[in-house]
Structure 1
């Protein structure tokens, strides 16, 4: 017995994993391999499959070019070509050619990257890299998959003659058609067309006797007939003969090419088997990236040690809902082989069991699993599972009977190389007897040396796990304060069902709960109460521990920053002092020399007043040159005080975004009309703040004294018109850009650009520039009375 039951894959949802991998395949070649995925007991094969997928995952992450299209399934074409005397059509050869091009690209890639992807390189052993066939196809077919004109000399002559005859036919038919049209024999807006593969012209039905020729078709109304004039009958016949000759020559060429291909069929089957395998491995790698799958370490000794294991299907579902999955840590070894998981309903027991079962099955199918890379796995020979309701109406088996049937098989065939899973162990019958039978089965499974995971609510099984070698308890964590599951697995302790607490939260009468406690017994109630207390204390300690770790990390980070800053300041201080000392010494030496020279010159000139005066002046100039410069930074001005209260007409206000001072002259709903000097504008009240009149007067005086840039002055000087008439193309961009930027900065919403009409070149140039300016919302022609298309109105976005 290898796996049990036969529908195991459906029970653990592996069939959905298979389907997700199939969706990542780019062709039926890869999809065929997906169906062949199977549970393996061969550790060497499993390791190779995992290595191949891991290498392809690295390839995808590297961003290197690798073929992604034309993984063509050519096996039907090979079956057809296998028969003597048959030939493949042009489109079939074109498909084979595309597939061969993909094949050669894959072969070249793996040959070039042998060291980087050794496991994938080994797959080339099934490919005979003989490119004679693709060269033969290239000589015959063009890039569109059609037979080339020069494929043979005969075909070149036939197609050349065909082109000549078609040209002659067109000229003769056009002449006949023009004459008939001039006589009014044809419908209006009619033209030469094709019917039955022959060129014909439309003629009004009442005039069909006026033109000699052959009628091929008529319109739906019968008012128009499509006639082949007698003048072109022979030419059309010649063209038809040439088309037959062309078809026979193409068939002859394709037959010869099929004969060449026939000898390569065995090699082609192997090569496209390789191509399908590559597509399949890439699909597994893409799926691994989607679920963040990794390759765990494969251990010879029986053990499972997973870090942050996640159910891939559940995680994908939660991601779609923008939710996070809670990962689990699992550890089983020869001393703790069977994990007994307990805890409240809806606490995650079954999900945890199915997660372990699914990931182990995926692993033994050679699929990367969502665990941390340092996790460890082993290979089991047998895989048993008992999940869900297996009531069988045909065999008249109840749910509990079907569970017992499974348990019979488990205990009969389980051994040291078996991994089993049992959900809700012992349920389905009277708890007292069900628990006793489950305990006996668990003892038997433990004696077999098998590994396994079971979920249960039975207290006797928890107690058995706590005192038996080979068994280990596991609890699903629970927030006892809010009575909510945490979906975390904690190994080494049993979990409480929290039945009384949940019943109380739901609102069951206290009298009912007290009666239930009396029925259970004081010992069991105290046991659950102790578990509840331990869980609460553990939660509190974990919160404290997390908070301490966070503070410690923050403290360490600040300590490092302080140490680095201190070292930087000390280093800068020493450097600045050294530079200052060097400069001071140089300055002192230079000053001493000047003083000595001054004294010497005074002595040499014997205290001549004029000369002494000049020397002293020179010394004073040097003294002034070495004085510290005064700071050229602008001195802080008194900040204008912002007043609280509602803005009213007559108030002095300041624009928040540019600091300009204005006076409110009107208010309408949420918009205020303001004046800045002689300029009027409308702005939203939210952009204004009320200021004191005294502070405004001081500001204006300061602006009058200042000679620097002023937003206030800029607003007074700004014109909403820009005249570009007479400007060259290269002059327009800076002028227009500055004009739009200034207008937007000063809060304007409508500007005028005068460019004149002329040939429209200057207008088109301006509007092309305006389209690419992010602050421009739209533009349009000015009113006809104010310039029309010679002026562009520009509307700016509100800032």
Structure 2
């Protein structure tokens, strides 16, 4: 449920609808966009969001999704339900192509039918396809009637084939006769050399100058606009032209008979076919939502079956699209509403972004519960609300004799009566429109009732008493729209935890209000108020400063962690390299020893072959043994050094 009736207009959802309609392929999808409604059922919202998320993947990852023929043939099908009515050629062609698209989409979503549901790439869309009927036999019958260009085939029936053969033959005879007459007339000089037979009122004729029309026997059928040419049907072809007219009538009657016969076959299946078109409409609708999601960088947050907002980097999509045209970006919104802080009171300077925050919350939550993906960070969490109320803008009604303030009070009355712990209320300039002191008091009393009912909400205000209320009551929290005091400009950033200053004095000074006027105003309001507002600005400034410091420390800690991790990786790589070097050194030493052994054995063999004296042989062996011992010592020393 939403309130009031023009809720969608107030948050900009009417523009979202139009953008979605522009992305639809047919009236099928456009009707779905028109009928799109807010749902408070968690499972329903979850399923719709999953469908769009899956279709976004199809767009981004698949090449061959069959979305080429989306035709709305439902009006024609409903007409044909009446006995004797039939689909014409174009309607039949649209039916054939759209039935083919339905069949191909169902096949696409039912790929890998033997897999478990959780293993399929698009489980939600597959459930949507479910048991949707496809009609291969009807498609086959249409293919027997129509060519690939949507025209009735010559062989759609035996009779039609005969009629068209006779038509072609008769046309050929007429053409030959006319050409013969024309050549004769040209040789006699009755007709110009470049003249050719033409068609007039469905009959083949010869163009002739008015003064020479008596030279050719026949019927004058027409005259050119300038009067310089008359069109004569020679007497020799009158009968043949009459026969063509008859054959064309026969052809039309046979085509109607063929179409009527097919429509009789089609009629029993129309209810099922219409159901299939509802599926096609839903696919067109989901497709449009998916392309809009891609355009706005939207996604599905974690959706909980409870009331909460935990959004990071949320963006107003319409503002995003508008600023993108000028090469600018929206300042994203971080906002959190939960059981401990259900109602957020946003204060800060005018034109500082308070209303944009409120509208962003209203629009994104409404989009989400209408089954649309929303632009925010993927780590965001969202809840489900049963009712969303909004009170924003000038609601003055001349017809009902209500002032702006009276209209606001009427809205407050309805909200207090209907809201509960599952409601989300959005109020801009709470308590405004009347004398500030009593307006602020009434607003505080209303806020108290909202809090007692456990409702959720985002409320913008300038009233100090509402800021104090938020500080003193559990469930209500202050938020400030940040403002750069040095540059004297809004930062459009929401900071939750402290109230914001209106920066009235600073803004007045910036626009050049005389200093004595500012001093006079400060004296009127009193130093206590001025000092309190200044302290508030200082608190917000200091909080922003320390928030910046904390962010810097976090970044440095992250950098330090990354550096430590890098050093650890490098140490591990060095350790691996050291082990590899030692292994290679061992292999090299082993190779050297093997080479030495081979050399020793070779020396011994040489000594034996030379039949040297025993003493010399022993001496040679001893020298070789000493050489091997020295190599072993060298290898051991290198190993120890490494």
Alpha-carbon distance in structure 1 between the residues aligned to 2:452 and 2:550: 40
Q: Match for residue 315 of structure 1? A: 320
Give the drift of 1:248: 1.8
Residues 27 and 73, structure 1, Cα contact 8 Å, conserved in 2: yes
SS at match of 1:263: helix
In structure 2, relative to structure 1, the CA distance for the partners of 1:529 and 1:200 (3 Å cut) is same
User: In the alignment, which of 530, 537, 547 is matched to residue 532 of structure 1?
Assistant: 537
Report the Cα distance in structure 1 between the residues aligned to 2:387 and 2:178, rounded to whole angstroms: 82
> Within 5 Å, which residues of 2 pair with 1:144-223?
144-223=149-228
Query: Could you tell me how far apart the structure 2 residues matched to 1:454 and 1:46 are?
Result: 26
Instruction: State the alpha-carbon separation in 2 of the partners of residues 538 and 235 from structure 1.
Output: 98
Deviation at 1:342, TM superposition (A): 0.8
Q: Deviations over 1:530-573 (max 9, x none)?
A: 22222222333344444444555555555655665676677668
Deviation at residue 333 of structure 1 after TM alignment: 1.9
Could you list the per-position Cα deviations for residues 631-679 of structure 1 after superposition, in whole angstroms to 9, with x for gaps in the alignment?
A: xxxxxxxxxxxxxxxxxxxxxxxxxxxxxxxxxxxxxxxxxxxxxxxxx
Shift of 1:580: 8.2
Who is 2:244 aligned against? 239
Q: Contact (CA 8 Å) 1:194, 1:200: kept in 2 or not? A: yes
1:740-759 equivalence runs, <5 A: none
Q: Counterparts of 1:227 and 1:26 in 2: how far apart (Å)?
A: 50
Partner SS for 2:431: coil
Correspondence for 1:760? none
Q: Cα distance 1:374–1:577, how it changes in 2: closer, same or farther (>3 A)?
A: closer
> What pairs up with 1:655-666 in 2 under 5 angstroms?
none
Give the SS at the match of 1:39: coil
2:73 pairs with 1:74 = yes
CA distance 1:316–1:165, shift in 2 (3 Å):
same
Question: Aligned-pair distance for 1:57?
Answer: 2.1
Taking a change above 3 Å as real, the CA distance of residues 70 and 48 of structure 1, as seen in their structure-2 partners, is same
Q: Deviations over 1:681-733 (max 9, x none)?
A: xxxxxxxxxxxxxxxxxxxxxxxxxxxxxxxxxxxxxxxxxxxxxxxxxxxxx
Does 1:468 pair with 2:473? Answer: yes
Looking at structure 1, the residues matched to 159 and 45 of structure 2 have their Cα atoms a distance apart, in angstroms, of 58
Cα 1:547/1:378, change in 2 over 3 Å? closer
Q: In structure 1, what is the Cα distance between the partners aligned to 2:20 and 2:105? A: 21
* 2:47 corresponds to: 48
Task: Report the CA distance between 1:576 and its aligned residue.
Answer: 7.0
Matched residue, 2:145: 140
2:347 aligned with 1:342: yes
State the alpha-carbon separation in 1 of the partners of residues 228 and 507 from structure 2: 86
The aligned counterpart of 2:29 is: 30
Q: Which residue of 1 aligns with 2:108?
A: 109
SS of aligned partner of 2:258 = helix
Specify the alignment match of 1:58 in structure 2. 57
Distance 1:361 1:567, change over 3 A: closer
Residue 348 of structure 1 deviates from its aligned partner by 0.9
- For 2:54 and 2:35, how far apart are their aligned partners in 1? 21
5+ residue gaps in structure 1? 605-799
CA distance in 1 between counterparts of 2:49 and 2:565 reads: 42
CA distance in 1 between partners of 2:556 and 2:343 (Å): 39
Secondary structure of 1:168's match? helix
* Distance (whole Å) between structure 2 residues aligned to residue 403 and residue 380 of structure 1: 22
- Equivalent-residue separation in structure 2 for 1:39 and 1:534 (angstroms): 41
Per-residue CA deviations over 1:260-297 (Å, capped at 9, x if unaligned) read 12222211211111111111111112212222222233
Q: Contact 1:481–1:536 (CA<8 Å) still a contact in 2? A: no
Q: Would the aligned equivalents of 1:54 and 1:285 in 2 still touch at CA under 8 Å?
A: yes
The aligned counterpart of 1:406 is 411
The residue number in structure 2 matching 1:21 is 20
1:765 corresponds in structure 2 to none
Worse-superposed segment, 102-111 or 124-133: 124-133
Q: Which residue of 2 aligns with 1:620?
A: none
User: Which of 445, 460, 468 does residue 455 from structure 1 map onto?
Assistant: 460
3-state SS of 1:490 partner: strand
Aligned-partner Cα distance in 2 for 1:458–1:465: 11
Secondary structure of the 1:393 match is coil
Q: CA deviation at 1:583?
A: 7.0
Task: Give the CA deviation at 1:582.
Answer: 6.8
Correspondence for 2:616:
none
Which structure carries more relative contact order (alpha carbon 8 Å, separation 6+)?
A: 2
Which is worse superposed, 231-240 or 89-98? 231-240
Structure 2 CA distance, aligned partners of 1:66 and 1:389? 47
Q: Is 1:496 the equivalent of 2:501?
A: yes
Q: Which residue does 2:448 correspond to in 1? A: 443
Confirm or deny that 1:434 pairs with 2:439: yes
- Does 2:486 align with 1:481? yes
Flag the 1:302–1:586 CA change in 2: closer, same or farther, 3 A.
closer
Q: How does 1:225-374 map to 2 (within 5 A)?
A: 225-374=230-379
Worse-superposed segment, 213-222 or 250-259: 213-222
Cα deviation, 1:572-595, whole Å, max 9, x if unaligned, reads 68767876897799799699969x
Q: How far is the alpha carbon of 1:460 from its aligned partner?
A: 0.8
Alignment partner, residue 5 of structure 1:
4
CA distance in 1, matches of 2:207, 2:291: 59
Question: Does residue 505 of structure 1 match 2:504?
Answer: no
Alignment-derived partner of residue 86 in structure 2: 87
Q: Residue 500 of structure 1: CA displacement?
A: 1.8
Task: Provide closer, same or farther for how the CA distance between residues 221 and 279 of structure 1 changes in structure 2, counting only shifts above 3 A.
Answer: same
Q: What is the DSSP-based 3-state SS (H/G/I as helix, E as strand, rest coil) of the residue aligned with 1:533?
A: helix
Contact 2:103 2:135 in 1 (8 A): no
Unaligned runs of 5+ in 2: 611-642
How many Å apart are 1:504 and its aligned residue?
Answer: 2.7
Partners of 1:574 and 1:24 lie apart in 2 by 63
1 CA distance for matches of 2:560 and 2:213? 102
Q: For residue 505 of structure 1, report the CA deviation from its aligned partner.
A: 2.9
Query: SS of the counterpart of 2:25?
Result: coil
Contact 2:498–2:540 (Cα < 8 Å) also in 1? no
Relative to structure 1, is the Cα distance of residues 502 and 591 closer, same or farther in structure 2, using a 3 angstrom cutoff?
A: farther
Q: Secondary structure in 2 aligned to 1:112?
A: coil
Backbone CA RMSD of aligned residues: 2.9
Distance 1:337 1:565 in 2: 49
What is the distance in 2 between the residues matched to 1:290 and 1:246? 51
State which drifts further: 381-390 or 291-300: 291-300
Equivalent in the alignment of 2:633: none
Q: CA deviation at 1:42?
A: 2.6
Given that 1:187 and 1:202 are in contact with CA atoms closer than 8 Å, whether structure 2 keeps it comes out as no
Moved more, 90-99 or 480-489: 480-489
Kept in 2: contact 1:353–1:454 (CA 8 A): yes
Aligned-residue offset at 1:47:
2.4
The structure whose Rg is larger is: 1
Matched with 2:526 is 521
Q: CA deviation at 1:204?
A: 2.7
The structure-2 alpha-carbon separation of the partners of 1:558 and 1:298, relative to structure 1 and needing over 3 Å to count, comes to closer
Structure 1: distance between partners of 2:388 and 2:572: 62
CA contact (8 A) 1:126 1:271 kept: no
When the two structures are superposed, what TM-score results if normalisation uses the length of structure 1?
Answer: 0.70
Residue 167 to residue 378, structure 1, CA distance change in 2 (3 Å): same
Alpha-carbon distance in structure 2 between the residues aligned to 1:557 and 1:469: 40
Answer whether contact 1:126 1:270 (CA < 8 A) is retained: no
Could you tell me how far 1:369 is from its partner in structure 2?
A: 1.8
Write the deviation string for residues 391-422 of structure 1: whole angstroms up to 9, x where unpaired.
Answer: 11223322112212222222222222322111
Instruction: Please say which of residues 95-104 and 409-418 is displaced more in the overlay.
Output: 409-418
- Structure 1 position 326, deviation (Å): 1.4
Question: For the residues of structure 2 that align with 1:217 and 1:471, how far apart are their CA atoms?
Answer: 88
